[in-house]
Amino acid sequence: MSAVAEEGSARAPWALTAPALMLFVGVLLIPLAMTVMLSFHDWGQYKGIEPVFILKNWHEIATDPYYAEMFWRTFRIAILTTLLTALLGAPEAYILNRMDGRWKSFFLLVILGPLLISVVARTLGWALLFGGNNGLVNKLLMSLGVMRSPIPFMFTETGMVVALAHVMMPFMVLSVWAALQRLDPQIENAAMSLGAGPGTTIRRIIMPQIMPGVLSGAIIVFSLSASAFATPAIIGGRRLKVAATLAYDEFLNTLNWPLGAAVATLLLVALVLIVVGSNALIERRYAEVFR
């Protein structure tokens, strides 16, 4: 009797999670496995995809400097975006946290605003402002005589970093904000009573405590920027490709699916390694703050 009940209760969690598990396996694990498999297949202009096991695609990525440049650019943009969001987002969250109730919720909404707008619309907005001679800001600056030629924005890495940083800012602000909520409300007073000035308090007391928030925000921003598609596609287009747009082009323009799959797989593996690695590092380094 009790054995049956126990058996039933042991099976219950599996039964209850089965639908979600099946969905997870069906729409994530299987396509992912198929993509990895695909990256080992052969492809030819006239013969199409051949389901054989060869290392041709991987060999090409490893040896052709074109791909190295592409991945290096991807991670350079992601790192710069992460740094920019951290440098702007952490102070932003700190200031936001010190605001009065009403202003706080208003500005929180302003910061979350970008998330409410489609990434395409938002990036096109940047293009309208800075795109070539017809960009609004460029026109204004040139008519004022501040500058002769438009600010280079479209098809530049700078443009991509700025546009990405704008998109990613909410993730950094919210993540630092969460860390700030964990702070003892009297901690700054405590530091002040011991003789610390505002600068010292921020550097010695506040910063170390919100560092985990900054770093977890950085992980989110980095992985999202490195795998971002829409923003690089619009700002960079064909001229300035990153890993995600490269994979897209291989799939849909060249129709070399196996090579595209290899690029996508490499991006995924590199990201997972970076994220898991840095997460482990952060958790060890900041064990005391996380407790």
Partner 1 sequence: MAYLELDRVAKQFGTQTVVDDFSLAVGKGEFISFLGPSGCGKTTTLQMIAGFLDPTRGAIRLEDKDLTAVHPAKRGLGIVFQSYALFPHMTAAENVAFGLEMRNVPRTERAERVRAALAMVGLAGFEDRHPRRMSGGQQQRVALARALVIKPSVLLLDEPLSNLDAKLREEMQIELRQIQRTIGTTTILVTHDQNEAMSLSDRIVVMSQGKIEQIGTPQETYEKPASAFVSQFLGKTNDFAGMIDRTVVPTQLVAGSWRAPAPAGLGGPVTVSIRPERIGFGDAGLSAKILTRIFQGNHWLFQCDSECGPAIVIRQNDGQAQPVEGDAVRLTWRPEDMSVRTRAVA
Which residues contact partner 1 (rule: CB under 8 A)?
184-187, 189-197, 200, 204-205, 208-209, 286, 288-289, 291
Alpha-carbon span 265 to 34, nearest angstrom: 11
Q: Which residues, 6+ apart, have CB-to-CB distance to 2 below 8 Å?
A: none
Cα-only R_g, the chain: 24
Q: Please say which residue, 182 or 238, places its beta carbon nearer to partner 1.
A: 182
Structure-block tokens of residue 213: 């928030």
Q: Please say which residue, 11 or 285, places its beta carbon nearer to partner 1.
A: 285
Q: In angstroms, give the least distance from the CB of 277 to partner 1.
A: 22
Q: In angstroms, give the least distance from the CB of 205 to partner 1.
A: 6
Q: In angstroms, give the least distance from the CB of 88 to partner 1.
A: 24
- 254 contacts 202 by C-beta, under 8 angstroms: no
Q: Please say which residue, 113 or 198, places its beta carbon nearer to partner 1.
A: 198
DSSP run (H or E) holding 127 = helix 119-130
User: In Å, what is the CA distance from 209 to each residue of 84, 98, 99, 181, 213?
Assistant: 20, 16, 20, 11, 8
Q: Please say which residue, 96 or 179, places its beta carbon nearer to partner 1.
A: 179
Q: In angstroms, give the least distance from the CB of 172 to partner 1.
A: 21
Q: In angstroms, give the least distance from the CB of 111 to partner 1.
A: 26
Alpha-carbon span 247 to 185, nearest angstrom: 48
Q: Please say which residue, 26 or 208, places its beta carbon nearer to partner 1.
A: 208
